A = this chain, B = another copy of it.
Amino acid sequence: MNLNKNKYDVVAIGSGPGGFTAAVRAVQLGAKKVAIVEKSLIGGTCLNCGCLPTKFLWQALKLRQKIQKSYKYGFKVDFKPVVFSDIFLKKDKNIANLRKGMKMILSSYNVDVIEGVASFKDKNNLMVSDDKGDNVLEIFANSIIVATGTSSSVVKGFAFDGNKIINSTDILNLKKIPKNMLVIGGGAIGIEMATIFSGFGCRITLVENKGCLLPNEDREISEEIKKNLIKQGVNVLVSCSDMLNNIDEYEKILIVTGRMPNNDLNFRKIGIKTNTKGFVKTNEFCQTSVSNIYAVGDIAGKSLLAYTAQSEGAIAAENTVKMNSASINDFVIPQVVFSMPQSSSVKVSNFLEYRDVIYGKFPFTASGRAFIENEREGFVKCAVDRSNKKPLAFWIVGAHSDELINTASQIIKSDIYHMSRESVFHPSFSESLFNAYEDAFDKCVELAKKKKNSIRTRF
């Protein structure tokens, strides 16, 4: 083994959105030798068992629903029974193609991909072991970017067995739709899995013990999601203590209660500090307590999202080239849950500090575009600072809200103090952002006048 060959300017551990972005960006900024160590598949959780495969399945479900409602356009369609394994095959093919694309990009930038499990020997040296646990390689790096991500949290009394008690990765490899399933965890993943599998015919019981779905989300949104899940046939249980009595009756039990850090890399030995939950502590430069080591994405525990991981990856890469040249500044981060229809939200980071906030709401039933696209469920809700009319937050339930929230996000992020009608195309769903904003001032022209004596609930 020639150790000289294994000397790098920058090494990223993990090839998910954070590590991938960090490695490519480091090359773009002039790093000569860059590598990624990956213990499993290129692309990490997001590509292989997270964002993308779930969105593929959601998309399939959505398309099926659109086909079933195509008579609204005068179409006559005979829909043959869905063979679930066919959908899964297509999913795997799509994901494999996307993985190929990522490999091609890494190769074009001459990023070495080292297969194996990395752990720290010291602050500049990593040991890489193979799947038997044998150390097979030692690599040196001036800067190291930890992007090892997270794994499914376990729940006391439920050991994952990959068969009956499964996690969010296992479920994406099922060969057929279970006849019924208990989903424990009413966060984004639980809601998405309940939506998808219920949509394809599985009887779902969804359990969340914090009193409501998405406990950190606006209550009106969370109630709307719950209402839609129930309409889709999901048995939603919140605040129940005895709901786990009859677990024998379920063919599968999916545990999606949270994520825990992949931190088994000898952090303590070399002085990388972690918080009480085991996530790596980082400063605004994405730097750990060891100055040449950065941590980005899930493992840094700031927000377990692919796109924040990408931002952090880019920031860390920049700092490996010129220390403290880039930092995390007041991130405005949209959140999306693929319920049916989708739901999303974005707000100024200090939203709770605002004291004089007014709210507007616009239902998609009143949107011309939603009407003709036959996507009339849901609404946009908008929070506005009364004193200066600045939009502070948007919440959306409805078709395309995963795209619309990005418009909202740019408004929230910017100096836009007054939304202008002419800057939004008609007829579009996006108009509803504007209409909800105007409704906060009782100035929406696309809603009937509210009755004078009706008490207007400010949500």
Binding site for B on A (CB under 8 A): 17, 20-21, 24-25, 27-28, 46-47, 51-52, 55-56, 59-60, 63-64, 66-67, 70, 72-80, 82-83, 86-90, 94, 97-98, 101, 104-105, 108-109, 305-308, 310-311, 314, 331-336, 344, 366, 368-369, 371-373, 400, 402-407, 409-411, 413-416, 420-431, 442-443, 445-449
Contact = CB atoms under 8 A, between A and B. Distances in A.
Contact of A371 (B60, B66, B82, B98): B98
- Which one of A109, A366, A425 has the greatest number of beta carbons of chain B within 10 Å? A425
Contacts of A79: 75-78
B445 A105 contact: yes
- Which one of A20, A369, A428, A446 has the greatest number of beta carbons of chain B within 10 Å? A428
Contacts of A104: 448
A97 to B, nearest CB: 7
A173 to B, nearest CB: 16
A20 B449 CA distance: 14
Contacts of A90: 72-74
B307 A20 contact: no
Dominant secondary structure of chain A at its interface with chain B: helix
B47 A368 contact: yes
Contacts of A414: 410-411, 413-416
Given A407-B410, A410-B407, A307 B74 contact: no
16 contacts: A56-B372, A59-B373, A60-B74, A66-B67, A67-B67, A67-B70, A75-B82, A75-B86, A76-B80, A108-B449, A305-B422, A307-B421, A332-B423, A334-B424, A406-B423, A409-B425
Contact of A422 (B105, B331, B402, B421): B331
Given A63-B73, A67-B67, 13 more contacts: A17-B426, A28-B443, A56-B372, A63-B66, A67-B70, A74-B83, A75-B79, A75-B86, A77-B80, A94-B372, A308-B422, A314-B421, A407-B410
- Which one of A101, A305, A410, A429 has the greatest number of beta carbons of chain B within 10 Å? A410
Contacts of A371: 94, 97-98
B55 A369 contact: yes
Nearest to A70: B63
A87 B74 contact: yes
A98 B75 CA distance: 21
A454 to B, nearest CB: 12
A52 B445 contact: no
A394 to B, nearest CB: 12
Shortest beta-carbon contacts, A-B, top 8: A74-B86, A414-B414, A76-B80, A108-B448, A78-B78, A406-B430, A311-B422, A108-B449
